[in-house]
Structure 1
């Protein structure tokens, strides 16, 4: 199976419809939100500081994520980085390595979109061990800082680009 991470705007109409149908397990919703909210963020008030990407498996969307830059960065983010949000792997496709595939493709794609960034950051709830394991296993580094998020305490993780 061939996977590739592509910009949302490069998807055809059928693929965009398939992205809108991506669903996560109900217990994951507090951590990553749903596709309605993610697409609303991307499409209702378009901003050059927000980009959407879909992971295609044999040209079928199986996952989605958002990247943000100023002026859309969250309060905890470094202004020289892009932040990862709303990573969602369709619940029927979970456990097949698609989250890992997103994370592997993301650094190169992020630099193509915003060549000036120094790295990527994300915030993950400490009560979300599956996500923590995914990110840490993919090489993201825990900053050691925690702050109170919407659900519980969040950890900030980063992926710094080599100069």
Structure 2
């Protein structure tokens, strides 16, 4: 099994079509949305402030995630004193879960981020507070949960950070 991460723009037309067939569980869709929503984000401007990555297994798309920076940062990442890049919509095809592929994506993030935006000092993400599997995966990779700042939405999402 050959596993690789590639930029969305590098996919062949056939791989673009295959990516649309990424199979997610209803729980995954509830937490991160579906592939169509993730791909819609790639139309955001400016293009230089976002990048989509596809996890390929034997040249077939089996996962996806987005990175955003600067003008496209969400509100929960704007008050940071460090230069921040955020992770969004990490999704692994349900037929390939449990094989360590999400972990491999997370382990590749520091290098991918530095290649895109060398001034990045930290990565951040928001995860549903009830998504214990994802939260444990992130913690196991060195991400730290930040204290809640929004009393209105307390307990709905956890914001996590990985210092580079």
TM-score, normalized by length of structure 1?
0.89
Aligned to 2:110: 107
1:126 maps to what in 2? 129
The count of corresponding residues between Structure 1 and Structure 2 is 161
- 20-29 vs 120-129, greater mean Cα deviation: 20-29
Say whether the 8 Å CA contact 2:70–2:84 is kept in structure 1.
Answer: no
Q: Unpaired segments of 5 or more residues in structure 1?
A: none
**In the alignment, does 2:81 pair up with 1:84?**
no
Cα distance in structure 1, aligned partners of 2:151 and 2:61: 33
TM-score normalised by structure 2 residue count: 0.89
Gaps of 5+ in 2: none
Label 1:146 to 1:153 Cα distance change in 2 as closer, same or farther (>3 A). farther
Asked whether the 8 Å contact 1:5–1:106 carries over to 2, the reply is no
| Aligned-residue RMSD, C-alpha | 2.1
Match of 1:57 in 2: 57
Which deviations, in whole Å up to 9, do the C-alpha atoms of 1:77-97 show, x marking residues without a partner? 136110000111011111111
Superposed, 1:1-163 pairs within 5 Å as 1-43=1-43, 47-77=47-77, 78=80, 80-145=83-148, 147=150, 153-161=156-164
The alpha-carbon distance between structure 1 residues 146 and 55, as it changes in their structure 2 partners (threshold 3 A), is farther
Q: Is the 8 A contact 2:52 2:66 kept in 1?
A: yes
- More helix per residue: 2
Q: Residues 60, 46 of structure 1: CA spacing in aligned structure 2 closer, same or farther, 3 A cutoff?
A: farther
Distance 2:73 2:112 in 1: 18
